[in-house]
Structure 1
Amino acid sequence: MIEVLCSEGDFDRIKLVFDEFKSEGFLMNASAANSLIRSFGSGGMVEELLWIWRKMKDNGVEPSLYTYNFLMNGLVNSMFLESAEKVFEVMENGKVKPDVVTFNTMIKGYCKSGLLFGGGLRFCVKLYNEMQDKGLDIPSHAYSLVIGGLCKEGKSMEGYAVFREYGHRGMIQNEGFEPDEVTYGVIVNSLCKSGRLEEALQWFEYCKRNNVAMNVVLYSSLIDGLGKAGRLEEAEKLFEEMVEKQCPRDSYCYNVLIDALAKNGKVDEALVVFKKMEDEGCDQTVYTFTILINGLFKEHRNEEALKLWDLMIDKGITPTAASCRALATGLCLSGKVARACKILDELAPMGIVLETAFEDMMNVLCKAGRIAEACKLADGVIDRGREIPGRVRTIMINSLRKAGNADLAMKLMHSKIGIGYHRMRSVKKRVKFRTLVES
């Protein structure tokens, strides 16, 4: 009955039937357990699934390989990956060993979750190695997942080795193992980020010759790599080629071209691409605005940079630490420290309080040798109650030290400035940072 109701998706009635079964105290056997775990797992009813699992233990019913696989499939379908990992480890250390279905179930879970980093990646690579050692068939999505995860963690050579193994298995076994556009995409991306641009271009041409579906990752990776290498004409040519190949251009693709143009001193051309982005209905992201704000400030086009900032806020795009840093440091270097502070203060009612913003401003002012302005900023931060004096003093010492101004850093460290007090008649006043440069 439960199996039929699960196939119909009638979960409310399933719970009623199941509650009635539980109240009757029905006996559990292996057949019933497998059926119920399979049904509840496919329906995403994890609470009921785990109740059955506990009931099996209470009734002394030994789980079979099928029971474990049904249980893991249910946990993975409901994105209980940590629980699925624990079940997998129990299987490895117990009498019932995982089979190819068990491995593929776990890999499916990582594919669905997009969990490619940290413990998720380590566990996924462990699965891949075990499947190799046991001679089990490794599905194509497992290769793509492992290659992508390794490349994104900066382990491009390990990812490339897996890629070569992937191609080798496809040639000698003739079992349909063909690298897809996802696999080629992560390899091209990794080669570009490693500075191996010519190899990336060779793989890109290989994909074209062999009718591999050309996706946005392939194009964006190369546009980014060419842009960082200063090969702007080639980058722009690929960007236009995407239209010819009917490959939709997304925000990331636009952003890498805008970034390349802005960093190569072509801010006006970057603004043209920015306008085209809007005309084509592609979402402008906080990263898009950050790139352009940075570029405009570097060319001392301060008012244009501020207009872009206002446009970003008007569009409801939430500033990030990077965008606030671009604005604050740009204004500071333009001699507009008070204006930077005012804008940052205005963000507080919006729920945006960036702890590092003032620290970034102090660092950039000290680096530029504008110690008096840095001291004035430090005093203002404390006066507004934004930071405790001790922390501001530590930031100032570090900023001076990083800027190579060790003498002032030592003077500040051994003085009462910032956190000490002195008396003026009967009034006790904090020793201001500005005395650092006045005395």
Structure 2
Amino acid sequence: MNLQYLPASGYLHRRSPVTASSSPRKLSPPLSSFSPSIINTTPLSVPKISSKPPSLPSLLKTLDSTNLQSIPTETLDSLLSNLTPKEQTVVLKSQRNWRQLLLVFNRFRSQISYNPNPIHYNIALRALGKAKKWDELRIYWVQMEKDGVFPTNNTYGTLIDVFSKGGLVKEALLWLKHMKSRGVFPDEVTMNTVVRVLKDSGKFDVGEKFFKSWCRGKIELDIVDLGSGWEQGFSRENKPRLAATYNTLIDLYGKAGRLQDASDCFKEMLISGVEPDAFTFNTMINICGSCGQLSEAESLLEKMEERRIKPDTKTYNIFMSLYASRGNVDGVLRCYRRIREIGLRHDVVSSRIILQVLCEKKMVHDAENVIADIMAMGGNIDEQCLPVIIKMYIDEGLLSEASIFFEKYCFGREISSKNYAALMDAYAEKGCWKEAEDVFYAEMTRERNKDIIEYNVMLKAYGKAKLYDKALNLFESMRNCGTPPDECTYNTLIQMLCGAELLDRATELLRNMKEAGFRPRCETFSAIISGYCHTGFVSGAVEVYQEMKASGVEPMGKKSLLLQQYLWLRLIIFM
């Protein structure tokens, strides 16, 4: 997004006319043509309006249950009249999508008695930013100036937040430059937002420098490549007073692997009289545990309870993850039970960790109890757990149970190609090609093309079962099904055929692979060379080896060196 600053007002503008788009690189329409383009005129039932103004709860219920875009303007104006600014704020915040929010906001703005204020604009800007409606956001940013509403720290913090979460980190940081042009020094919330953006971008040192410069009362914009900085209008240092600020800094140090700095920041927080919250302790527990300081993490849980800060589900999820990484099944089970004992609910992460541990340990009965518990609570098994559970059954030789589980929890469900392929691979690894095939074709009813990874796993299953004709037939059908083979497909099939000494077909596929623009790996060439050597056709092996060199694929490692020596030895013998 190319942004330019107006010297007089400091508001952003672009040089050419604009048209509406969700892309930040496209331009937006004039304000007069904006509303019709986002209003659906499909007629629906219109709520009856009594002469008595509705109470705020009643109004919110009516607005939530009605398609506002179908209501005549007069009716909507009647609903929204006689509200205080605070009530208007509540109404705006309650809107479930950006279109309805703008519709309500525009009706407020059309009222003669309406006084524009930054809070309402901030709500609109946040909703548009979350929806990535950058051009509509620009329209209301410009309109904000026309209404005589000056941006506040909250406005800039909102813009920095939504731009960064929308993937526009550079544009998010540019708002700092605009703040300087307006003479608005970041408050603690805005500063914390900037540090969080830099942390999430992996710029840990820059985030720390920005925080320290804010504490000194002079922000150095050159830290984030935005030019010279600016100072506050008074000479005193800033001290963070919010738990959120310390939480961001502690997390920054943790992600940077700086355990001591995170610990020092936590101590400084306590010394400064800023009360830590559950997020603070969760972050510290995770940092300590990830750095191998499990006993320190456990002592933090005790301190947390001593300060009467209730652990949440995430607290125990962290400990479950830490115990699982150390193979401590009892610790994982203890934390899982503790969540329910103190009146909390297991979430997706809790279930994923416990099932992963139980399935890896082949604790079938316990895993089934957890599954039953999840379903009894009205939940659903996380799709990442499905391949893990299937693998547990297969490894234990319980193929019938695996089939029943698939029918009950997998069949007909929307599952990502990655996890669906993992389901097939669990069978393929054990040579259960027919079961893998059943899973593969069970998905054919879904209205989408199979992903290449699913085909590659099925080819692998056929290869392990030495069903080469089935593998070749599947390969030939891929293009007709709208999924062309990739590099992995060719490599898998060529190495499979070489193992079956079908060298002519493997060599043909090697040519097809190169014609398709793929570069065979050293292992693929080596498989064909080894196949020729095994059948005594050394001259063919030498020919393929020279082709490998001509393709720019160099032999790799000691194994390749031994292969070269073996080729020349066999060549001498046959000469």
SS in 1 for 2:309: coil
Separation (CA, whole Å) in 2 of partners of 1:363 and 1:149: 45
What runs of 5+ residues in structure 1 fail to find an aligned partner? 23-31, 422-435
Separation (CA, whole Å) in 1 of partners of 2:299 and 2:436: 49
Alignment match, 1:396: 524
Deviation string 1:181-214 (CA, Å, 9 cap, x unpaired) is 1221232234234322122223333334433423
Separation (CA, whole Å) in 2 of partners of 1:317 and 1:124: 46
Specify the structure having the higher radius of gyration (Cα). 2
Distance of aligned partners of 1:380 and 1:140 in 2 relative to their CA distance in 1, 3 Å threshold: farther
**Shift of residue 67, structure 1, vs aligned partner:** 3.3
Alignment match, 1:36: 152
Alignment match, 2:329: 197
Matching of residues 44-63 of structure 1 within 5 Å: 53-54=176-177, 57=180, 63=185
Distance of aligned partners of 1:363 and 1:120 in 2 relative to their CA distance in 1, 3 Å threshold: farther
Alignment match, 2:63: none
TM-score relative to the length of structure 1: 0.67
2:320, 2:336 within 8 Å by CA — same for their partners in 1? yes
Matching of residues 121-270 of structure 1 within 5 Å: 121-122=255-256, 128-136=262-270, 137-145=275-283, 155=290, 157-158=292-293, 160-161=294-295, 163-172=297-306, 174=307, 176-270=308-402
Separation (CA, whole Å) in 1 of partners of 2:437 and 2:321: 34
Separation (CA, whole Å) in 1 of partners of 2:505 and 2:348: 45
Amino acid at match of 2:439: L
Separation (CA, whole Å) in 1 of partners of 2:390 and 2:345: 25
2:383, 2:415 within 8 Å by CA — same for their partners in 1? yes
Separation (CA, whole Å) in 1 of partners of 2:250 and 2:414: 28
6, 16, 20: which one pairs with 2:143?
16
Separation (CA, whole Å) in 2 of partners of 1:332 and 1:14: 61
376, 382, 387: which one pairs with 2:510?
382
**Shift of residue 180, structure 1, vs aligned partner:** 1.4
Separation (CA, whole Å) in 2 of partners of 1:311 and 1:146: 46
Amino acid at match of 1:9: A
CA RMSD in angstroms comes to: 5.0
Separation (CA, whole Å) in 2 of partners of 1:317 and 1:110: 45
Amino acid at match of 1:392: P
Separation (CA, whole Å) in 1 of partners of 2:355 and 2:489: 31
SS in 2 for 1:261: helix
Deviation string 1:49-82 (CA, Å, 9 cap, x unpaired) is 86764356568x583xx53632543786x99954
SS in 2 for 1:250: coil
Distance of aligned partners of 1:298 and 1:54 in 2 relative to their CA distance in 1, 3 Å threshold: closer
Alignment match, 1:274: 406
Amino acid at match of 1:378: A
Amino acid at match of 1:205: R
Alignment match, 2:72: none
Distance of aligned partners of 1:75 and 1:227 in 2 relative to their CA distance in 1, 3 Å threshold: closer
Separation (CA, whole Å) in 2 of partners of 1:19 and 1:124: 48
Indicate the structure with greater helix content.
1
Amino acid at match of 2:268: K
Alignment match, 2:121: 6
Separation (CA, whole Å) in 2 of partners of 1:299 and 1:48: 51
Instruction: Tell me the percent identity.
Output: 11
Alignment match, 1:309: 440
SS in 1 for 2:462: helix
**Shift of residue 320, structure 1, vs aligned partner:** 5.7
Deviation string 1:346-387 (CA, Å, 9 cap, x unpaired) is 445735543223334455666xxx2613x3453132232446
409, 413, 417: which one pairs with 2:544?
417
SS in 1 for 2:346: coil
**Shift of residue 270, structure 1, vs aligned partner:** 1.0
Distance of aligned partners of 1:388 and 1:150 in 2 relative to their CA distance in 1, 3 Å threshold: farther
Distance of aligned partners of 1:419 and 1:314 in 2 relative to their CA distance in 1, 3 Å threshold: farther
**Shift of residue 305, structure 1, vs aligned partner:** 2.9
Deviation string 1:193-243 (CA, Å, 9 cap, x unpaired) is 432212222333333443342334333322322222222122212222333
456, 460, 464: which one pairs with 1:329?
460
Separation (CA, whole Å) in 1 of partners of 2:460 and 2:314: 39
**Shift of residue 301, structure 1, vs aligned partner:** 5.1
